[in-house]
Structure 1
């Protein structure tokens, strides 16, 4: 449970215990702030996984998850502004996890999401083989990153700006998209239909591996052979 008080800056703060249902013996010392829902991703040697930061302090965060997280690997939390923070897992249950920062972070920067870059959706970096089809032509491409709204691909097929195409890959639904930009053989695509955040999070887990919920063991997925 959280004892809520209003901070001068308008954030909701309080001492937050561990995972829901614990006995409350390990109350955190640092003030913890309930955030507006903030998308983020966890990065490790096995891939990148979407999550939502639910609350944070200078010493740790709790997040919403959409699948079990890989075990036995070092995780790094990347925020939308590009800031990265190594994290140590404290607890995990279905749909949630708690982490501590080995070194205290600037909580004001974390809360305000300060960045010199334009705001954009969280992107997952991949190296995923795929096919594109347009005007009766088909070509093999590589998806380098994907977000809720679009993707970056590398293609040997020349395409014009605003050209419509179909994108297909294992473990992804067939995607209708248009070319937004191009640079050499790299193309930025915008999807006709966007993904829900939770949907993309689960798809990312399928693309990069799967986890046995009961044992917590990580089972290699199609991306692991590409990565090696």
Structure 2
């Protein structure tokens, strides 16, 4: 697996951004994480280049088949997009509405403190607390932690592990609890690529559409 820092060194591709000439206005974002949202799932991508009419993104799996697709920034802003090409772990998208203000997309301004991107999930998992197993629902995941819902009352700072069957997240600690919701901090944070591949495995989106179980070592 490539670490996040290694992505900046990957060679640029020759495909043009959708709807622009080679001399058109274009901004290289390099490593800007964003979400690609389908009607039923959210995926992680890395924005590389953007223009007023389209963008190029680094992918970690093939594009999902479902349409329509939206691009969601870290501040929650969404743009309707349409895939134009896909090649060598990259894809080009066209903005479906009026020309996008590139400066607005690059700034990604928000009145709130920035948080790591959270990808929504809705999957049954098993939480192991060292003594017992508890049925739970995995609600979302980020590079640093997960949100689960369970009828069990897990003690604060308790070390647990989460098993989905297709993925194993390793050890985590209970950071906060609010009713049935529990916020867990991963003992070993994920890389961008690990998180992207984990999401692909959960949704079974791969080169052949059927990925083997993933272990995050």
Aligned residue in 1 for 2:160: 165
| Correspondence 1:69 to 2:82 | no
* Matching residue within 128, 131, 136 for 1:141: 136
**Correspondence 1:7-46 to 2 at 5 A:** 20=14, 27=21, 30-46=24-40
CA contact (8 A) 1:68 1:94 kept: no
Q: CA deviation at 1:153?
A: 0.2
Q: More relative contact order in 1 or in 2 (CA 8 Å, sep 6+)?
A: 2
Q: Determine the C-alpha separation between the residues in 2 that align with 1:93 and 1:83.
A: 26
Q: Aligned in 2, Cα 1:209/1:174: closer, same or farther, shift over 3 Å?
A: closer
Instruction: Verify: 1:113 aligned to 2:146, yes or no.
Output: no
- Greater CA drift, 189-198 or 159-168: 159-168
1:57 pairs, out of 47, 51, 54, with 51
Return the offset for 1:72.
5.2
Segments of 4+ in structure 1 off by > 4 A? 218-222
**How many residues matched?**
199
2:179 — aligned with what? Answer: 184
Q: Is the 8 A contact 2:61 2:207 kept in 1?
A: no
When the two structures are superposed, what TM-score results if normalisation uses the length of structure 2? 0.83
Query: Which ranges in structure 2 are unaligned for 5 or more consecutive residues?
Result: 1-11
Residue correspondence of structure 1 range 206-221 to structure 2 within 5 A: 206-212=201-207
Structure 1: which 5+ runs fail to align? 1-17, 223-228
Helix, strand or coil for the counterpart of 1:210? Answer: coil
Q: Could you tell me how far 1:26 is from its partner in structure 2?
A: 6.0
- In our comparison, the structure showing a higher alpha carbon Rg is 1
Q: Report the secondary structure of 2:31's partner residue.
A: strand
